[in-house]
Homo-oligomer: A and B are copies of this chain.
């Protein structure tokens, strides 16, 4: 933790921090992606939920909140919007009616591959020119940081 040597100047430049560069690039990536999915009337966080629901039959909000690093309140609002758009359904569990499982509608299921392609295109726009080794290196470093710190928050792609 403290093994990193630090310069003696009292006020480090903004761009001397790796966090500055990550935020800079990742904000651009997210905003570009946001503009793409907006054409389908979906927000980035909504996309993440849709994608999570695509793999399993259904997912319970509290599990989704854990997985996405959001609060249950946040998931609840997102779910409201997705239900209103006809992309997601809520179904109370028969054995314990506190659990309101979320699942994709047919319309939602059809939309996911379309959005997934936009995600692919967006990532390619920013990182397509990197060498495979560079991409792998960066992903590996990020995974390590996540693992080491036990992070579990938001991927807003």
Interface set of A (CB-CB < 8 Å, partner B): 1-4, 6-7, 10-31, 33, 48, 51-52, 54, 69, 106, 109-110, 112-113, 116-117, 119-120, 122-130, 134-135, 137-139, 141-143, 145-146, 148-149, 151, 153-157
* Shortest CB distance A70–B (Å): 11
23 contacts between A and B (CB under 8 A): A1-B125, A2-B128, A3-B128, A4-B109, A4-B128, A6-B124, A11-B54, A11-B112, A14-B156, A14-B157, A18-B126, A18-B135, A22-B22, A22-B25, A23-B29, A23-B156, A23-B157, A24-B151, A25-B151, A27-B156, A28-B153, A129-B148, A137-B138
